[in-house]
Amino acid sequence: MKQAGFFDVEERIARLSVLDDQLEAFSRTVDFEVFRPDLEKALAYSDGSKGGRPPFDPLLMFRTPWGCVP
């Protein structure tokens, strides 16, 4: 199996975009920002005053299972 090059992923995404990728169409159709307030309320992240790694963006975590990562 050939190792992927630096631009292989970008070229594949460009080819999928030309073919009107269904995931891109889904991302354009659904406004995920509508879910942000409910996600932030449900997750109740701390303010970060105790240190540690900053939390992942809740919207990113919500979109990931559908493959709609920006």
Query: 1 in a domain, yes or no?
Result: no
pTM of the model: 0.56
| Amino acid sitting at position 65 | P
pLDDT-derived band at 37, boundaries 50, 70, 90: very high
Tens digit of pLDDT for each residue in 7-32? 887 887 788 777 777 777 777 888 88
Query: Residue 47 domain-assigned?
Result: yes
Range of the domain at 30: 8-66
* DSSP line for 3-61: PP-TTHHHHHHHHHHHTT-HHHHHHHHS-GGGGHHHHHHHH----STT-SPPPPPHHHH
**How many domains are contained in the chain?**
1
Would residue 14 count as lying in a domain? yes
2 within domain boundaries: no
Q: What is the mean pLDDT of the chain?
A: 79
Half-sphere exposure of 44 (CA within 13 A, CB side): 1
